[in-house]
């Protein structure tokens, strides 16, 4: 059985194609302003890499904030539902999943089949999402890919109290005036973000096997802050940004746990 999962996020579109529950291709394209066009591009790329045609697909599930903008699909499924499926597939012991994408942070508790038992999503606030680190790295004039590693070089913990990106930026300006090092400021940003995500995941409860997915799961500075805040080591799967699309493809295949 060949299935496709399409995850149309706020910033990127991810596509995963499975054959008998094995990944045969994946693609990632910037969503941009013409989302439908970008989605088609991501699909074409994944189909080409898999060496198959659209007609070969048995079922397609679309997910993400722009799920309805996929050029074709059989069903839609919620992001939290897809995230949980994908996370449990990759890490069968996972019962708690954190997904931090560009626009949203989400926390889920799930069972061994990947079924969501409870979930929480940050609302109307970018301070718990990737957009926050992007804004802060711009404010500090540090390339985004260097922002995480820089944070690990921090020598001090500096609290950042702002609850939103706009006010956090003004706190960063104050820190600049106070001659705080960029490494310490990067750490403050990641700590603030981790604190917000931790608060969300604490609300729904978590077990020791916590899987972190989404684009921000590639940020080592954030992972370090989150581990400290939660008092554990989160599991980060390979290619964490694809887990939602993987879950959608698994849902299309009717996967419910096991291998």
Partner 1 sequence: MEQVAKYPTEKLKCWNEAKQIRMKYYQDYAEAHDKGGLRWAGGAWTFDSIPAGLGDDVYPITSEPYGATIAFDKKLSLECMEAAEKEGYPRDLCSYMRNYWGSIIIDKYPFGYSGQGEFVPIFQGAKALKFPKPDFIWQDHICCSHAKWYQVVSDLEGGIPMFTVDNAVGPSNELTDSKIKFVVEQLKDGIKFLEKVTKRDYNDELLFKAIRNHFISTSKWAEICNLNKAIPAPLDEKSIYSLYVLGTLQKAGKQVADFYEKTLLPEIKDRVKRGIAAVPNEKFRVMSDTQPPWSFLSIFRYLEKFGCVSIGSLYTFGLIGQWEIKKDGSWGAKTIPDVEFSNRDHALYEYVKYELHKPEWQHFYSCHLKSDMMIRIAKEWKLNGVMLHYNRGCEGLTVGIAENRLALLDAGFPVMAFEGNNADEREFDEARTKAKINAFMETIGAK
Interacting residues with partner 1 (CB under 8 A): 65, 76-81, 115-121, 123-124, 203
Q: Where are the alpha helices (DSSP H) in 75-181?
A: 79-90, 130-139, 144-151, 165-177
Nearer to partner 1, 50 or 110 (CB): 110
Give the end-to-end CA distance of the chain in Å, rounded to a whole number.
15
Report in angstroms how near the CB of residue 206 gets to partner 1 at its nearest: 14
d(CA 252, CA 72): 14
Nearer to partner 1, 118 or 157 (CB): 118
Torsion angle in degrees (nearest 10) through CA of 124, 128, 131, 136: 120
Nearer to partner 1, 54 or 115 (CB): 115
The neighbour count for residue 169, using CB atoms within 10 Å, is 16
**Residue 39, SS3?**
helix
Nearer to partner 1, 172 or 249 (CB): 249
Cα atoms in the Cβ-side hemisphere of radius 13 Å centred on 51: 3
Report in angstroms how near the CB of residue 203 gets to partner 1 at its nearest: 8
Report in angstroms how near the CB of residue 233 gets to partner 1 at its nearest: 27
Nearer to partner 1, 65 or 225 (CB): 65
Report in angstroms how near the CB of residue 64 gets to partner 1 at its nearest: 9
d(CA 47, CA 6): 12
Nearer to partner 1, 82 or 210 (CB): 82
Report in angstroms how near the CB of residue 104 gets to partner 1 at its nearest: 8
Burial group, residue 87, by CB count within 10 angstroms (0-12, 13-18, 19+): buried
Report in angstroms how near the CB of residue 28 gets to partner 1 at its nearest: 22
d(CA 247, CA 85): 5
Burial group, residue 15, by CB count within 10 angstroms (0-12, 13-18, 19+): buried
Nearer to partner 1, 24 or 125 (CB): 125
* Token output for 220: 């080592």
Report in angstroms how near the CB of residue 243 gets to partner 1 at its nearest: 16
Distances (CA, A) of 181 to 64, 131, 150, 176: 37, 22, 10, 8
């Amino acid at each position: 059985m060949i299935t496709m999962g399409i995850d149309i996020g706020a910033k990127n579109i991810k596509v995963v194609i499975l054959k008998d529950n094995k990944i045969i291709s994946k693609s990632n394209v910037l969503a941009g302003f013409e989302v439908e066009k970008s989605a088609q591009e991501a699909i074409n790329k994944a189909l080409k890499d898999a060496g198959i045609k659209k007609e070969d697909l048995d079922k397609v599930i679309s997910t993400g904030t722009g799920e309805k903008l996929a050029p074709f699909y059989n069903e839609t499924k919620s992001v939290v539902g897809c995230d949980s499926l994908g996370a449990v597939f990759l890490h069968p012991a996972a019962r708690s999943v954190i997904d931090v994408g560009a626009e949203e942070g989400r926390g889920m508790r799930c069972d061994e089949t990947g079924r969501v038992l409870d979930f929480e999503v940050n609302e109307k606030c970018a301070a718990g999402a990737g957009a926050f680190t992007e804004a802060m790295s711009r404010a500090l004039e540090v390339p985004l890919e260097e922002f995480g590693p820089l944070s690990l070089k921090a020598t001090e913990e500096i609290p950042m109290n702002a609850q939103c990106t706009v006010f956090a930026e003004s706190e960063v300006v104050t820190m600049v005036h106070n001659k705080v090092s960029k490494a310490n400021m990067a750490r403050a940003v990641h700590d603030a973000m981790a604190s917000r995500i931790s608060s969300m995941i604490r609300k729904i409860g978590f077990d020791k096997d916590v899987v972190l997915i989404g684009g921000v799961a590639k940020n080592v500075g954030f992972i370090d802050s989150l581990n400290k805040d939660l008092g554990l080591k989160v599991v980060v799967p390979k290619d964490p940004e694809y887990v939602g699309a993987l879950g959608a493809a698994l849902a299309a295949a009717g996967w419910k746990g096991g291998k």
